[in-house]
Structure 1
Amino acid sequence: MAALALVAGTLAGCSGKGNNGGEAGGSGGAKSPSASASANASGKAGEPVKLKMWGGVPPEAGPQAVVDAWNKDHPDVQVEYVRYVNDDEGNLKLDTAMMTGQDVDLFVNYSMSQTAKRKESGFTLDLSAFTDYDVDAKMGPDAAGWKIDGKYYGIPTTKSSFFVALNKDKLDAANLPVPKDWTWDELREYAKKLKAGDGYGFIQHTEPFVDPIDSVLSQDGYTKADGTSNLDDPLVRKWLETLNGMMKEDKTTPPLGEQLTSKMPVEQIFLSGEAPMLNIGAWLLRSSNNFTDYPRDFKIAFAPVPRLAGSADKYVTRGGIGDYISINAKSKHTDAAWSFLKWYADGGMAPLAAGGRLPASKDADQEAALKSLLGDKADTYDRDSLMYVMFDNKTPTYVRSVPQEVMDLRSQEYEKYFLGSQTMDQTISAMVSRHNEFLKTAK
């Protein structure tokens, strides 16, 4: 890791103004909108430009259909899709590929934290060099959350909806309504009522554990007026105590130790009917539409992600728009990559809707995307609640922008709490202390 960090620093130091000075990577400056997509090709006459796009979605869930459609109509620019898993190991694989000069022309970022690190390492092309695509006009005001120092280093391409998926049949049997506005305390009560035997009432991946914290701190601030850490905000404590209580007192959600050691397949558990509530995003539909691998006999309803009690007046939820696609600043084919990226964002990505990824561009065919989203399984979903969480819920959204170092130190400390190796007071104290140290070194 130390060696990789050294390489990253070297790359960043050598990047020059190609990243931040307005030049379009190796193309020597911005091309006019009429410039040939293959203007910076490999130089071998008659051969197509070959691009590699790295993303976290399995090829069969839409990306392969996307590149196949492009390749059919653009014989002079051929795209290959490379899958990486969107976890720590997978993101390290992508970053290492760019550090070591492997073929990466375009890549998808799934958080602002990842994007910011890659921008600092010189991997992301400053798109202000191109003047033929207005990201703000195409994607709307939510796009601004992806700017770094007022510039776009990629295009956010999808509407990102996060929600709690619900087994509607079990809700009906328990006489529980589908919520449109609820708190984590209320979800905790739902989990108690829906728990059956030794099963769980609520499950989630470990990745969204921190979402309620960022919902609070994106509004209250990650630092206080005096510049010190705000990780001791009372609502941070409230969230950690709530989730820990569900794990250990209620036994309605898996203990962290069990979840980590078993690599719990939470989507499969929900779709099999074993757990009635799942905190997840729209990508669930890529599995819930797949009755071959995930057969089910119940209808799925949808509810917004709950808020912490006491935060109603400033509640924001994770979401907005995402799948932020950047062009590698070291790519030899930035103009070709730009042409593909514009096409992708304005509707070329439509096949991904079947996996829950709706295009964000105003110029994309949203009705066609919705039909693709539901496929022939529309009657297995509660359409009203689906439409509410994806289109009608007006709760403001945030894009996670906290530095990766802070993400890491937080998770390291709250995992100790959930695993029982330190108390809540020790956890809060350690997070604050480590965050303050980070703030000193980051100045």
Structure 2
Amino acid sequence: MKRKWIVGSLVAALMVGLLAGCGSSGTATDSNSNEAGVNLRLYTYGTEEAYNWKETIAAYEKATPGVTVEVVNLSEKGDTAEASKKLDLAAASGEPMDILMFSDAAGYAQRVALGMAEPLDDYIAKDGYKVEEDYKIDPRLNGKVYALPGKFNPWYVLLNKDQLDEAGLPVPTDWTWDEYAEYAKKLTKGEGASKRYGTYFHGPQGGSWLEFVKLMMINQPQGSDFLKPDGSSNLENPNFKRTLELRVKMEKEDQSSVPYSDMISQKLNYRTQFFNQSASMITIGSWMNTEIGGTDKVPLTFHVAVAPFPKNDKADSIGYSPVTTDYVSVAASSKHKQEAYNFVRWYTTEGQIVQNKNVPAWNQVKEEEVTKIIEKILAGTKNPELVDKQSLVNTLLASKASELVPPASYQAEVYKVINEEYEKLILGNQDIDTTVKNSQERTQEIIDSNKK
């Protein structure tokens, strides 16, 4: 079966750009070189506030005489959708570009399919390191490396430590989903409108937040999605059924998770469920690092601790979870590929420490460096003293990403189908076996209809 990428809109954007001869987005000039030496143009969605570019670039230029780096900011708001459109138009108009940043696996895979990113394997071999050993994220697509990962945002579990202490429960450092379910049972308290639930799961809903229907898939080294890397179905994976069993047990039998019907009908939000103390635990992404100490909109009034994403069985490796990152690539059209690669390698290693905004995906980062970054992030919150900083640092250091599964062009259709079948299950309209069977059959129909 030939894999189909989501390239239609991109190709259309490129054609529009070619016809319009669109100009540059951002503040960069048209020149790709200067009198001092090589000038590299970095196309990014990252704002100065979020990425500390001035200080980061200044450090690189000081360490690399003769090379300057121009930041072409594609969205003043840090809007990744806006930035992606402008990047495609800039590429179509033939703007000189050297370094490209992609915010998600889909955007990365799509631009690789369009030939916008240069393979980095030869550069990496020359430098003598292995991506899978040097970084927490393996960015390979079809066996080749087209980007190195920058920041590292794994999923984790946020815990109301006051409620844990009340129940006599320690902060977990290595646990399974069965143990998570036990914690949720012990943390559940009360009845009716004032009931406090042990946990809250923020999905699936509307074909998104599908992580919550593959909890026991996304903590595995491979096979973490509903589709395999070749686009075929992965729903025969027993961990899909195990996830359904977990969700049903916790909501229907233990009554320890907020009912799905409440989430949908009341349009609940994971932030308010946790910070209002309606749920003692939430499983969520570490983009919450900037909020767990409390904000003006969502204040913190209790102690918070952090635990790793649960594993399936005690013998499993701890730490695998969904992860978001910045995919930093060398533009295939660059006239300075070696210099661009040198920057990409530096930026995704030492540069992450200099930037001091996110936890790096680089494996060589030291615990004290992660601690320093976390301290700076928490300092931007209202009550950092209420956060168990060490549990957060330990969790981030222990976390790692599953194998990257490039999204198929029909992935959204598959997600919608599984969302629909899950709703039938959790609302009591069909059993688990029927849900698995229907999900498998409907997904296969989508795959077959997309074959050439």
1:433 partnered with 2:441 = yes
Indicate the residue corresponding to 1:324 in structure 2: 327
Q: In the superposition, relative to structure 1, how do residues 219 and 340 fare at CA in structure 2: closer, same or farther (>3 Å)?
A: closer
Q: Give 1:272 shift.
A: 4.4
Indicate the residue corresponding to 1:51 in structure 2: 42
Contact 1:354–1:374 under 8 Å retained in 2: no
Indicate the residue corresponding to 1:172 in structure 2: 165
Contact 1:66–1:350 under 8 Å retained in 2: no
**How far does the alpha carbon of each residue in 1:370-413 deviate from its partner, in whole angstroms, 9 at most, with x for none?**
2221245775333553344233x4x8752341534564344222
**How far does the alpha carbon of each residue in 1:300-351 deviate from its partner, in whole angstroms, 9 at most, with x for none?**
222222233xx44456622689433224435687666545423322322236
* Identity in percent: 23
Segments of structure 1 that go 5 or more residues without pairing to the other structure are 14-37
1:188 partnered with 2:196 = no
Deviates more, 1:197-206 or 1:297-306: 197-206
Matches within 5 A, 1:389-404: 389-391=395-397, 393=398, 397-401=401-405, 403-404=407-408
Distance across 2 between alignment mates of 1:85 and 1:437 = 40
1:360 partnered with 2:362 = yes
SS in 2 for 1:191: helix
**How far does the alpha carbon of each residue in 1:76-97 deviate from its partner, in whole angstroms, 9 at most, with x for none?**
43214445999xxx76555444
Indicate the residue corresponding to 1:24 in structure 2: none
Distance across 2 between alignment mates of 1:280 and 1:338 = 33
Distance across 1 between alignment mates of 2:289 and 2:227 = 37
SS in 1 for 2:159: strand
1:349 partnered with 2:352 = yes
Segments of structure 2 that go 5 or more residues without pairing to the other structure are 16-27, 62-66, 204-208
Distance across 1 between alignment mates of 2:307 and 2:173 = 6
Contact 2:43–2:74 under 8 Å retained in 1: yes
Output the amino acid matched with 1:413: V
Contact 2:197–2:258 under 8 Å retained in 1: yes
Deviates more, 1:117-126 or 1:326-335: 326-335
Distance across 1 between alignment mates of 2:267 and 2:331 = 32
Distance across 2 between alignment mates of 1:12 and 1:315 = 44
Q: In the superposition, relative to structure 1, how do residues 126 and 260 fare at CA in structure 2: closer, same or farther (>3 Å)?
A: farther
SS in 1 for 2:45: strand
Q: In the superposition, relative to structure 1, how do residues 211 and 332 fare at CA in structure 2: closer, same or farther (>3 Å)?
A: farther
Q: Give 1:123 shift.
A: 3.1
Q: Give 1:286 shift.
A: 1.3
TM-score of the superposed pair, with normalisation by structure 1: 0.71
Q: In the superposition, relative to structure 1, how do residues 44 and 358 fare at CA in structure 2: closer, same or farther (>3 Å)?
A: closer
Which of residues 295, 300, 307 is equivalent to 1:296? 300
Distance across 2 between alignment mates of 1:274 and 1:44 = 58
Q: In the superposition, relative to structure 1, how do residues 396 and 101 fare at CA in structure 2: closer, same or farther (>3 Å)?
A: closer
1:235 partnered with 2:242 = no
Matches within 5 A, 1:179-258: 179-196=172-189, 197-206=194-203, 207=209, 208-209=211-212, 210-215=214-219, 218=222, 229-247=233-251, 250-256=254-260
Contact 1:409–1:434 under 8 Å retained in 2: no
Indicate the residue corresponding to 1:286 in structure 2: 290
Q: In the superposition, relative to structure 1, how do residues 156 and 78 fare at CA in structure 2: closer, same or farther (>3 Å)?
A: same
1:380 partnered with 2:377 = no
1:77 partnered with 2:69 = yes
Contact 1:71–1:78 under 8 Å retained in 2: no
Indicate the residue corresponding to 2:21 in structure 1: none
Q: In the superposition, relative to structure 1, how do residues 222 and 270 fare at CA in structure 2: closer, same or farther (>3 Å)?
A: closer
Q: Give 1:263 shift.
A: 5.9
Provide the alpha-carbon RMSD of the alignment.
4.5
**How far does the alpha carbon of each residue in 1:233-270 deviate from its partner, in whole angstroms, 9 at most, with x for none?**
34312212322444455554345565467664423542
- Give the structure with the larger helix fraction: 1
Distance across 2 between alignment mates of 1:383 and 1:220 = 29
TM-score of the superposed pair, with normalisation by structure 2: 0.70
**How far does the alpha carbon of each residue in 1:45-103 deviate from its partner, in whole angstroms, 9 at most, with x for none?**
79976533125xx753x41x2344415875943214445999xxx76555444443367
Which of residues 84, 93, 100 is equivalent to 2:89? 100
Distance across 2 between alignment mates of 1:83 and 1:258 = 36
Output the amino acid matched with 1:347: E
Distance across 2 between alignment mates of 1:404 and 1:245 = 31
Distance across 2 between alignment mates of 1:170 and 1:12 = 54
Distance across 1 between alignment mates of 2:279 and 2:199 = 6
Output the amino acid matched with 1:428: V
Q: In the superposition, relative to structure 1, how do residues 221 and 359 fare at CA in structure 2: closer, same or farther (>3 Å)?
A: closer
Distance across 2 between alignment mates of 1:255 and 1:133 = 54
Contact 1:51–1:333 under 8 Å retained in 2: no
Output the amino acid matched with 1:6: G
Q: Give 1:167 shift.
A: 1.1
Contact 2:330–2:341 under 8 Å retained in 1: yes
How many residue pairs get aligned? The number is: 401
Distance across 1 between alignment mates of 2:109 and 2:146 = 9
Distance across 2 between alignment mates of 1:315 and 1:365 = 21
